[in-house]
Amino acid sequence: MEDAGHWKIGLPLLILCSLLVVPVAWAETRTVTDSAGRTVEVPETITRVYAAGPPASILLYIVAPETLTGWPRAPKREERPYIAEPYRDLPATGRLTGRGDTANLERVLDTRPDLILDFGSVRDTYISLANAVQGQTGIPYLLIDGRFENTPAALRLVAEILGVPERGERLARYVEQTFAELDAALAEIPESDRPRVYLARGPDGLETGLKGSINTEIIERAGGRNVADPGPGSERRGIVKTSIEQLIVSDPDTIVTWDPNFFSLIWSDPLWAGITAVRRERVYLSPIAPFGWIDRPPSVNRIMGLKWLAGLFYPERFGEDLRTETRAFYKLFYHVDLDDEELDRLIAWAEGQPGD
């Protein structure tokens, strides 16, 4: 199961931690408390921040893009138009945490950060990593709670640390309003009246996230009933493989995917033809530029996905125009003004048009 921003800690990193000691000092410092309750001294003025993983890079880009030292991986060609121009060509700096961690401490130090920031789990494993890296490099390392419901608090905390509290307050209020409007609507909708949703991952659509997984969190938060339900009392979470036979039995009335190959094939595949979602043409392709609307990675980018899914599931209650909502979100959160062509490319199939 994926944590928000974490998968594993690379052994080479831990070995390097034991070998490398680079003291760092600043003329003026202040003390902050991160989401793990760690008291950390940080520079009075922070201008360069190393994102420990993709969720942290998105959080930093949204709150204070000028502080980013680089992206965990360079943006792809199709993602670049949806990132503000000054930040498209930031270097690929790798990642300290997450699946396929690609950075070591020498690489981190090369970016000359004032601060290392991680956004995700604040379990003991990641506290230990933060303490080890901070102790060996002298660079303050902060952990920010990446749970979806903690998003407003995370935005405010990071903005305060980076000296842009007004920006954080504006973003946090947007998220809080989104949550409040959704909660008010869902309070009036019985569970039995909510859509039965399947998240189709991979080119064959037969990989999914179990109910309660971080991968399907916003589907459930938007009022969808995840058909990949392991049952009452089960603690199983994460990504699983399923079969077309299981899907025929569960018969979702709505399918969401971000895989364009699967989306184009599902309409002509006889194995899927009898499933209600396909018969009713309720299969939707999630936008993924510059960041996924469902997860990929699980960061603040999911707020746009939440608004989109709420509109799909309950159009009579959330009837806002998707194009208008998307433009406004991308301007506020991603610092870009989308033209009509960019907007068309982004949401061409998110509005429910069958594949070619």
Q: Does residue 206 contact residue 243 with C-beta atoms inside 8 Å?
A: yes
Which of these, 40, 58, 78, 17, lies nearest to 302 by C-alpha position? 58
Please report how many Cα atoms fall inside a 13 Å half-sphere around the Cα of residue 26, on the Cβ side.
18
Token pair for residue 47?
Answer: 């201008």
pLDDT at 62 over 70: yes
The 3-state DSSP class for residue 235 equals coil
For 218-241, write each residue's pLDDT tens digit: 999 999 999 999 888 777 888 999
Q: Which has more confidence, 159 or 6?
A: 159
Query: Between 181 and 9, where is the model more confident?
Result: 181
Indicate if the pLDDT at residue 8 is higher than 60.
Answer: no
Evaluate whether 49 touches 113 at the Cβ level (below 8 Å): yes
The average pLDDT across 173-177 equals: 98
Q: What is the pLDDT of residues 252-269, one digit of tens each?
A: 999 999 999 999 999 999
Summarised one tens digit per residue, pLDDT across range 185-203 is 999 999 999 999 999 999 9
All domains in the chain, ordered by first residue: 11-180 (3.40.50.1980), 190-347 (3.40.50.1980)
pTM beyond cutoff 0.95: no
What is d(CA 41, CA 133) in angstroms, rounded to the nearest whole number?
14
Please, are residues 42 and 114 in contact by the beta-carbon 8 Å criterion? Answer: yes
Question: Residues 42-52: pLDDT tens digits?
Answer: 999 999 999 99
